[in-house]
Amino acid sequence: MGIKLLDITTEELLEKFGAGNHKPGSGSDAAFQGMISAKLLVTVINLTNEKKRRKRYSKNLPKLLEMESDIQNRIFPELTKLFQEDSIQFDKTIKLREQRDLEKDPIKHNKLSRLALKELKVAIDIPIEISRLCVELTEIANFVFDHAFRSARGDSQVALSGSVSAIAGCLSIIQLNLLSFRSDEYEWIEDTMLKVESLKNKYRNFSNITDSKISILEKEVNDKKILYKEVDQFLKKYKSKKNLSDKDIEESSVELQRLIWKNRYKIWKVKVPQQPTKVLIPGTVLKKIFGYEFHDVAEIGSENNIAGIINQEEKIVMISDEFPKNTQNFTAAHELGHAILHTQKVMHRDKPIDGFTSYKNRDYKERQADKFATFFLMPEKLVKQTFKELFLTDKFQINEDSAFFLTGGNPSELRKECKNSRGLARKLANAEFYSNQSFISISKLFNVSVEAMAIRIEELDLIEF
């Protein structure tokens, strides 16, 4: 063949495959499938090795990079060589057959026939070697699908299916060409069929693996579909309510918390939270459950005093990052409340939300969103449980023991310092030591401001001043 197939354009190559000629033929096509699979695997491994993903995939990255090197330095070059050689070698066989068919002299006819079979043996060796290389690619693709960049599993699956398909094609090519040989080649045919049988057994196993990968992705889709159905029913239930009471709002937050906890393995995939407080992340909930874009930004529009904004039509929430992290967290939960309870397309807050902003002259929907944020970030049952674990009581009362455990002083000193119930609640919300035990403060555990937690402590009647 006068030209290198890889030197021509894709369009020209496809034209040659579809021209009805024997060159390039099915062997070259199988090699080309393997080459495409090889390049797809290199792409997925390179994506896995990007700086932003290395830590997540560090356990398997050394093996993946070793595989990538093997593909680049050995497998792909070999397939490229066989891609070209198959076209050249089978062309030799075809030309000898054509000469044989035109030859009238029986002796010359027989000689050409035997020469054609000799060249065909070489031609059969090529798809056997292509198959062996594609077996290696299939094994690599199987590992890459399971252990490389998860979002590129489409590429991994195409590489897997492509290499398995190339093996199937080669098996058919080999068996078809074996039909040309006679009984005098029995031993060679038997030896070749043993090689084919080994490849066929691997092909059957690989076919099952390919199907299993499709089933894995199908199961993930079905799991997500079940989750999304729950979310859809949840939203319809609460968005349809016209006159929401505080009880309704609290019920919505509890129902959402249960939904998140039940589906946490579907939502997080990796580093799945094992503590209930760790799933109460409004930004993550907005993104992974309700499908919003969520961004922390320096400015929201032209106004400097906007803490957060939600656009339900465009499915985007933006939170100003100029406020403390716990304030940003409450603002995000506030916007989550709007996403669940209200239908107005665009809503925004003109000042920070921290759970204790005065409700005077504020729209009732803003109050409802604040209430939702309180219930979502500081659920009654969890706050009470945590409070008891930290302060060893269901209800904190100032006495000799509790005052000493909290401050090292006496009751009168603690009362004087706190002045009132709110002051005591603030003291407890910010406390990081009690009864010879140090701990993370309850406000930090729930990622809210001290004031927001103090109000919640009072609301839940956890103290007596």
Q: C-alpha distances in angstroms, 301 versus 297, 305, 317, 328, 330?
A: 10, 10, 13, 17, 20
The angle that helices 380-391 and 450-459 make with each other, rounded to 10 degrees, is 100
Q: C-alpha distances in angstroms, 334 versus 106, 271, 321?
A: 93, 26, 15
- The letter for the amino acid at 390 is L
Helix, strand, coil percent content, the chain, rounded in steps of 5: 70, 5, 25
**Domain ranges in the chain?**
10-222, 246-377, 380-460
Q: Please give the helix or strand (H or E) that residue 404 lies within, else none.
A: helix 400-407
How high is the pLDDT of residue 71?
98
Which residue ranges in the chain fall short of pLDDT 70?
1-8, 10, 12-25, 89-90, 301-304, 349-361
Measure the CA–CA gap between 156 and 161, rounded to whole angstroms: 9
State which fold the 10-222 domain adopts.
Four Helix Bundle (Hemerythrin (Met), subunit A) (1.20.120)
State which fold the 246-377 domain adopts.
Zincin-like (3.30.2010)
Query: ∠ at Cα 313 (308, 319), nearest 5°?
Result: 15
Predicted confidence (pLDDT) per residue in 167-224, tens digit: 999 999 888 888 888 888 888 889 889 999 999 999 999 999 999 999 999 999 999 9
Instruction: Copy the structure tokens of residue 24.
Output: 């390039």
Across 169-179, b (16+ Cβ under 10 Å) vs e yields: bbbebbeebbe
Measure the CA–CA gap between 321 and 256, rounded to whole angstroms: 26
Interstrand relation of 346-349 and 437-438 (parallel, antiparallel or unpaired): unpaired
The model's pTM is: 0.74
Measure the CA–CA gap between 423 and 327, rounded to whole angstroms: 20
Selection from 464, 406, 396 nearest residue 435 by Cα: 406
Q: C-alpha distances in angstroms, 376 versus 130, 207, 228, 335, 383?
A: 59, 48, 20, 12, 11
**Torsion sign over Cα 90, 91, 97, 101:** positive
Contact 349, 308 (CB under 8 A): yes
Query: 420 phi and psi, to 5 degrees?
Result: -155, 180
How high is the pLDDT of residue 20?
53
How high is the pLDDT of residue 120?
74
Contact 134, 163 (CB under 8 A): yes
Across 249-271, b (16+ Cβ under 10 Å) vs e yields: bbebbeebbebbeebbeebbeee
Predicted confidence (pLDDT) per residue in 54-105, tens digit: 999 999 999 999 999 999 999 999 999 999 887 776 677 777 778 888 878 8
Measure the CA–CA gap between 154 and 284, rounded to whole angstroms: 25
Selection from 445, 353, 412 nearest residue 428 by Cα: 445
How high is the pLDDT of residue 355?
47
Identify any residues that bridge with 438 across adjacent strands, giving them in sequence order.
433
Instruction: Copy the structure tokens of residue 220.
Output: 């993930």
